[in-house]
Amino acid sequence: MRIEELTVGLPAPKPLRLKELALFLDLDGTLAPIAARPQDVRPDPRRTSLVERLRHALHGRLAVISGRTLADVDRILEGRVKAVAAVHGLILRDADGTVTAAPPHPALPAVVRRCREFASRDSGLLVEEKGLSVALHYRLARPQAQAARELAAELAAETGLFLQHGDMVEELRTPGPTKGDSVEAFLTRPPFAGARPVFVGDDITDEHGFEAVQALGGDGVLVGPGRPTAARYRIVGVEEALAWLEAAL
């Protein structure tokens, strides 16, 4: 069976009924378009208003589950969302503001140096340090993609860091909780406990989130082009995802 037959036929999600839900949202590629450089994603009045209204309508049962740092999520969303899982789940901030984080892997400083040395070969290569991980972006240096993937695989094998593939990025992260683990953790705590979860995301890293919510009786919603996925529903792109979320308010 072709990939298209597995993915393009996913139905659009039904209208959200916020009264019974806990909503978990990815950021890049879901609430915000993918940018050439991570720092190019900036606050947006429509997005900020949307997440603020959703948080109030859900009585706090809204969490952002992102690969970005906690500071970056707060910058982009202007601090409107309290419950956040950052760096793919390695940092968790509860709805009451309590923050827990995994200890950083000791090999990260050396890996950052290796990535920066590699990035010096092409101005389009970007190294993003996140404290608990380092990401090597090659969206602006696509001829370097294979070499970037090979370096990341080599570093993971040498250090024991977890290699996470993304959209034009290779990330080496401290082993630990995933986005799915974060969803499960939130659902054991107020105000999320007892609600039916919905996870909305676009990237391979969001598959853990889809699997987690569906194991707990909820739904996963893929944003973007069809691909093999655990999600049950699909939305065409960011603009359509924003409109779907706004229609629930």
16 close to 249: Cβ distance less than 8 angstroms: no
Phi, psi of 11 (to 5 degrees): -75, 160
Catalytic option among 26, 74, 181, 203:
26
User: What b-and-e string marks burial along 108-136, b requiring 16 or more CB atoms within 10 Å of the CB?
Assistant: beebbebbeebbeebebbbbbebbbbbbb
Pairing relation of β-strands 62-65 and 21-25?
A: parallel
Q: Is 167 a catalytic residue?
A: no
Contact 20, 196 (CB under 8 A): yes
Q: In DSSP terms, which residues pair with 197 in a beta bridge?
A: 22
Residues carrying an active site annotation: 26
